[in-house]
Structures are given as structure tokens and as C-alpha cells.
Structure 1
């Protein structure tokens, strides 16, 4: 597609490009534009129809939007801003430099500017920061016919019209009614008789991850957002929730890999920025790992007396780290989904203890057979290694399952207590267990 468009641009066949783009999906058009050379992007964007251009602009990433905004004439900027929904406008402004933001705000009306500033003032990652104020509101005294008249009159400017929100004169949320309910009711039926009054809602300061979880739990297309006095101030739609889920999942994955989270895509992150994201944790983990060498040094005499013990250190450390990572990953996932709470810590430890004993015993039996048949070590050395294996897996699982829960309890992101940190802790613990069991059984 892009090659074809570039060929037509070279030939200055703009009408053919317009015809080619006319029926394109906005999301696909956004991807296509982002892959074009920067100098060609504004030219092709201007060939989109007015409505398609605004929808496409909303799907583009911040860098591409900034390129277009800088190249827009005042008239073009007016047209795009007029078509954008409020939440898309806020998302765009959050990623742009101050001078570009000022220019954009000059091209929106006073009411829209006020709403934008209101949303921008909500805490980052809160329901207020991702909501839109463009929803259909009805009154309980309206008839179905009057409700449809209001939807027709205002619905074009709203992000969704399927779910309508019933409010009183103070904008306090009283209920919801869907277009399906309205279609299946007589024209003369009053809204208060068909609306749902048991409404699920979130507050403006509710964490965005919890909002996304509520939408998923109840299969909502949108969820209302209220202020401290339960006045309706906006809604969060399912498409915004999907974006939140993707952002939070990406953030958790990066934290679990000991990388400082970022909002920028990998291919658009410079080498220097990537280095800055990774080096703090690498330095911390490297320094932490020096404790491991210190432990080995303190047991030099024991190792000198039974050199064969040295060859099993990597296996014991790796197995402990792997077991701890499995446990921590499971618990972190449960915490992020709301399946696990701090009060469940005793149940978690009990369950993981049984699981780790079963896993440790299985690994010990398999390892014992290898030690005796292949490595041909003495029975006592095999006993030291296998017993250590059971204890290390048990301790690793307990460390792996408790640290994320404790981190959540004190306000840290549980994802921080993931594989790299767990592995570093377990390595040191595994060595201490190993050498102490060796001293006890081998008398060294």
C-alpha cells in the first residue's frame, strides 16, 4: 500500500490516492501514514476526507500527531480539533511539547478548553485522566420519545450513545438506560420506569487499572465516573480500558524484567534512553550479586575439603531462582487481577509450601538417580545435593510468593518483586543452605 501511494505521489496523481484511501479503516490509515516519510505524511493526510482525517488522527501515535500539527494551517487544525473527541484530545496533548499544546488550545472553544484543563488536572493514571465528558444524559421524567429526540439532537457529538445516563438537576447519577431498552419500550413510557438504578460507577480518583478491571468484570461498554458528591462528570469507554490494559501489562512486563517502564514504543526509543531504562536495575542487581561471591568465599575451607560440591552450585542456584520466579509470577498475576489480597498471605504460603515440597521431592529423586548413575558421587554427597534441592525449592517458593504480596501491602508495585530480584535473593539463600547442610552431613 505505501509503495503504491509513494508512486502515485511521485506522479502527482492525488485524485487516485484519495480514491484509494476513501474506504480505508481509520486504524489502518493511521498505521499507513506513520510508515510514510515525514515530509510525505502531511501531504497524504490532507487527501483524507474530513471525517476520516479526524478519526485517523486519533489513532496515530504522539510523534506522528506532532509532525502533523506542526504542519497544519490554522484552518486544518480547526477542522481536526472540531472532530476529535475530548479524551483523544487530552491523550494527544499529554504527549506534546508546551508550545504545540498552546497552539492546539487556541483552536478549541472556551468550553472545550475548560474541560480539557479539568481532565489534565486529574492525577495521572486515574479514571478522571482517561474519561471523556461526551456522553448522553437524560432526565427521569422524559418519555422514550423525548429521549430519542435528545439522542438525535446531541448524539453526533458524543463518543457513545448506546448507554445513556439519567441525572437530576444537580447532575447526580440516578440510573442508566440503554438504547435497546428504549427501542423495546412504548414511546410514551417514562424513563424512570425502565432505567436501571443499581448503577456501577467509579470515582475520578479511582486507579485506571481498577476501572479497566470493572469494565471487564461486568462486560460494560462504558462505566460512569462521578466526583465526591456522586455527580456524573464523565465516562470511561471500553476502548480506553483496552489501552489501559495494554499499558499496564507492558509496564508490569518491563518491571518484571528489571527495566524502568516507559510509554515509548521500542523502535522509537533511542539507544541512550534504552540504556537509561536498564542500567539502574542492572547496577543494583550486580552489586546485590556480590553477596553471593562473599558467601562462597566464607565457605572456602568447606569447598576445599570437598571440591565436588562446587560443580553443583549453578544447578542449585538456577533451580531455586526458577522456582521462585514461577511462584512470584503466579502471585503477581493474581494480585493484578484482584484474585489475591494481603489477607490471603497465609493461605498462599501454605499452598506454595505443599507445591514446593512436591516439586522439590520430584526434582531430588530425578537428581539422585543422575548423581548415582552418571556423576557417580558418594551417597553422602548425593544426599547433601538432593536435600539442599528440596529445601531451596521450598524457601524459594515462599520468598517468591510473599515478597510481591508484602510489596503490594506497603504500596510498591508487586511486579518489582519479580524474576531478577527474586533470583538474586534466592542465589544467596541457596548457597547458605547448601554449605550448612554440607557441613552438617559431611562434617567439613
Structure 2
């Protein structure tokens, strides 16, 4: 059965209030599949199948949902079920939910937690919204560097059930200062009488709790880590960023970049469940800004109106020229935004990046100019075709430079590089490309 048929089946069951059918459907599907289908429904509809879940699967499904969908589910639950779910959630997942929830839900959620869970949640909420401290888990098994392997394994067995992960184990000295990490596999294969300080990986990467969660997740991706140790300003261990949370951070960051590169604000929620008005709001602001910026192109056309009147054939190639320049600029901008995101380039690489992209744009321009010269010669004659060909070379080179420089300059001044990517670059290249085009026409044609 396809995903579309599966979703339609559950929706039909909910609409028909077929409780028996819903229970059977839920029993046949995995938690992540159930969560995906619930995300496609309005909050009022989703609460019906959620309430019919078995207790042992309820939390699994709930933690797979986005925070906004979790909020909608919570609003439909009685106080006892509301507090039971929040109490059983992992602290990092709970902190993100409460951090994004309206004040009314957040207050109600914190008030119902046990003192221990409330303390952990409050500690995580104390970090900035995009900091790794919001995404780490404090529920870990901490080992002292002077323990033997045998004793360390006993500690893991005794405390492991309450930890979110035991595959990466932090090793600390006095005062919880992080020495390094040891994997569960290292413990299992080591001699019982060996000390942890002899097998600990002191070079294991670590990050500060206030550092960017995206940077930490990218580091895990680059270093192939299952978990990443997180420390405070005094190098004391405070938690682990696990790979599942790192994947969510990267997915959210990539989704945000894709939205901004297309000239829209990120929505964040499941597309199917997002209202039309929210989609309009996410896209309209950027479109209004871009249409205002596009008036530069109109002003350039007015400034060179006399040139167009004298050689009307030049107007035929304006759409092709600005379209080509916009495409080249968008390609460069997209490549650099992606390279910045994964750490392949840095702001200090600006001169190298511009030099490389300028040569790329030049070679692309030469290739496209040959095609433009051949087509233009057949349509309007060699003289105008030569103007178009020379303009293509210049515009492609210029567009590649602009497209590569703007994201790096944006990062330097603290602006998200994706904000100044494809649409913004294309709009700027349109206006400046016309100036280049008409300037070359005046020079070559002597007008």
C-alpha cells in the first residue's frame, strides 16, 4: 500500500469515527509512520487516534512529532495524561517543546513536572534557543577517570537504564571536568583491572553548551561521531549531543536554508498541515522586497531608453541576458551557501572563492557566448550578436563573483547567508547586467 493510500485510509477512519478500524491501523504501523500521518492532520483530528494508542507506544509517537503538533496534542489531553507524557519525555525533547510553546502551555507543563525533571528542563531552557545546550541530553552515565574497567561496567549496568545513551561515556576528573570519552565497546574489550585514564580518548571533540547547535551537529557529521560531549565555560561536563538530535538539527537548518534560498521564510511544520495563510505570510514579505528591488531594472531600462530606440534589436536579448546572469549567480550562491553550511569554506576564504568563481563564470560565459553569437548572427546580424556575446561573457563573470561574494559577506556581518542567496543575487544581477549590456553596446556600436 502506498503512503498516499495509507494516509487516506487513516483519515477516512477518523472522519467516520471508526474506533475499531483506527486501533487496527495503529497496531499495524510503526511509531514514526503513525507520527507522520498524525502530522498531516489538524490538531483536533490527530488527538483521536493518539488517544487510542497503547500506553507503551504513546510516548514513542509523541516524541516523533514536531513541537507545534505536540502542542496541539497536549491541548486535547486531560491533565493526568498531559503531565504523564511530559514527565516521561527526554529532557532535551521536553525543553524544545516548552521553549516553543505559548506561555500558558509552558507554565502548565513546568508546574506538573517532578522537582528533578523540572530542574533538568529549566537548566536546558537557560541556554539560547539555537545553542547546543538546548539539544543535549543531561541523562548520561558519568565515569571518573580513576575507576577500573570492571568498576566502570558495574556503574554502567546500575545507571544505564536511566540514561538516554550509553554508547559514548564521558570520563571526568574531580569537579566533573571532562577528561575525554570512552565507548562502551572499549570498556567491553578492555582488561578488567585497567584504569579508565589509560584508555580514555582525550582527543575526543567537545563543544561549549552555548555554541551553535548546527555547528556541533556538523562537527558530529564530519567526525563520524555517535555522540558529542558538551561542556560549560569551565570545561565541566554537562551533557551529550546524540546523533538523532544532531540529525534533526541538520534537517531543520537545511530546510531553513532551502526556504530562504527560494525567497521565503521557513515554516517549520509539516507542509500538509500548514494553512494557506501561513504559507502566504511566509512568502509574501520576501516577494514584496524583491519586487521593490526589481524596480532597479526598470530604472536601468529608462536610463538607456535612447540606446534602445536607436538599436531596437538590443531589446530582443534582454530577457536572455538577465536570465542567464541570474542563473549563473544563483548557481554560485547556492554552491557557496552549501559550502559554508558544511564548513568547506570560511569568511577568510573570500579572495580565493571570488578568484575561483570568477574563472568559472568567465569560462561559462565564453561557452555561452559562442552559442549566442551564432544564434544572434542569424537573427539580427553580426554587430549586435557580437555585443550580446561580449555581454554574456562579462555578465556571467560578474554574476559568479556577486553570487559567491554575497553569502560570505553576509556571514561576516552576522546575517544568514541563505537570506542573500538566489533570489536576491538574481535581482541584483538583473540590474547590473543591463548596465554592462548597454555600456558594451554603446562602446561596440558607437551609439
Tell me, yes or no, whether TM beats 0.5.
yes
> Pick from 58, 73, 89: which aligns with 2:94?
89
Contact 1:320 1:396 in 2 (8 A): yes
Q: Which residues in structure 2 correspond to 1:321-360 (within 5 Å)? A: 321-360=326-365
Q: Which residues in structure 2 correspond to 1:35-434 (within 5 Å)? A: 41-42=46-47, 44-373=49-378, 375=379, 377-434=380-437
- Gap change, CA 1:33 and 1:266, over 3 Å in 2: closer
SS at match of 1:236: strand
Measured in 2, the distance between the counterparts of 1:305 and 1:8 equals 68
SS at match of 2:174: coil
In structure 1, the partner of 2:3 is none
CA RMSD of aligned residues (A): 2.4
- Gap change, CA 1:316 and 1:125, over 3 Å in 2: same
Measured in 2, the distance between the counterparts of 1:41 and 1:296 equals 54
Does 70-79 or 165-174 show the bigger shift?
70-79
Does 260-269 or 412-421 show the bigger shift?
260-269
Measured in 2, the distance between the counterparts of 1:12 and 1:415 equals 46
**Residue 109 of structure 1, CA deviation:** 1.2
Contact 2:39 2:270 in 1 (8 A): no
In structure 2, the partner of 1:6 is 13
Measured in 1, the distance between the counterparts of 2:332 and 2:42 equals 47
Measured in 2, the distance between the counterparts of 1:199 and 1:417 equals 36
**Residue 442 of structure 1, CA deviation:** 1.4
- Gap change, CA 1:318 and 1:142, over 3 Å in 2: same
Contact 2:176 2:237 in 1 (8 A): yes
SS at match of 1:170: helix
Contact 1:136 1:154 in 2 (8 A): yes
- Gap change, CA 1:7 and 1:46, over 3 Å in 2: closer
Cα shift readout 1:320-371 (whole Å, capped 9, x = no counterpart): 1111111111111111111112222222222222222211111111111112
**Which runs of 5 or more structure 2 residues have no equivalent in the other structure?**
1-5
Measured in 1, the distance between the counterparts of 2:205 and 2:14 equals 53
Measured in 1, the distance between the counterparts of 2:15 and 2:301 equals 69
SS at match of 1:202: strand
Measured in 2, the distance between the counterparts of 1:169 and 1:8 equals 60
Contact 1:8 1:17 in 2 (8 A): no
In structure 2, the partner of 1:442 is 445
Does 165-174 or 141-150 show the bigger shift?
141-150
Cα shift readout 1:129-176 (whole Å, capped 9, x = no counterpart): 111111110112222222222222221121111111112331111121
TM-score scaled by length of structure 1: 0.92
- Gap change, CA 1:386 and 1:88, over 3 Å in 2: same
Does 212-221 or 61-70 show the bigger shift?
61-70
